[in-house]
Amino acid sequence: MKRIAIDMDEVMADANLRFREWYERDYARRLTAEEMHGKHYKDMVLPEHRELTMKYPYVEGFFQDMPVIEGSPEVILELSKKYEIFITTAAMQFPTSFVHKYEWLKNHFPFIPTTHFVFCGEKGIILADYLIDDHVRNFKRFTGQGILFTSPHNVHETWTPRVNNWQEVAALLL
Element of type H or E holding 104: helix 98-108
The reply to whether omega before 67 is within 30° of 0 (cis) is no
Residue 130 within binding range of a second copy, rule CB under 8 A: no
Centre a 10 Å sphere on the Cβ of residue 7 and count the other Cβ atoms it contains: 21
**CB-wise, 114 or 158, nearer to a second copy?**
114
Q: How far is the CB of 144 from a second copy (least distance, A)?
A: 9
Number of residues that bind a second copy (CB under 8 A): 27
138 and 7 in contact (C-beta within 8 Å)?
Answer: yes
Contacts of 110 (CB under 8 A, 6+ apart): none
- Greatest distance between any 2 Cα atoms in the chain: 50
**CB-wise, 46 or 92, nearer to a second copy?**
92
> From residue 132 to residue 151, what is the string marking binding to a second copy with x (rule CB under 8 A)?
-----------x--------
Q: How far is the CB of 55 from a second copy (least distance, A)?
A: 18
65 assigned to active site: no
Taking CB under 8 A as the criterion, which residues in 39-98 touch a second copy?
86, 88, 91-93, 95, 98
Calculate the alpha carbon distances from 140 to 134, 147, 160 in Å: 13, 12, 13
- What is the 8-class DSSP label of residue 153? G
Residue in 125, 155, 171, 174 binding a second copy, rule: CB under 8 A:
125
Residue in 61, 67, 110, 121 binding a second copy, rule: CB under 8 A:
121
Backbone angles phi, psi at 131, to 5 degrees: -130, 120
Catalytically active residues are 7, 9
Rule CB under 8 A: which residues touch a second copy?
Answer: 3, 5, 86, 88, 91-93, 95, 98-99, 102, 113-122, 124-128, 143
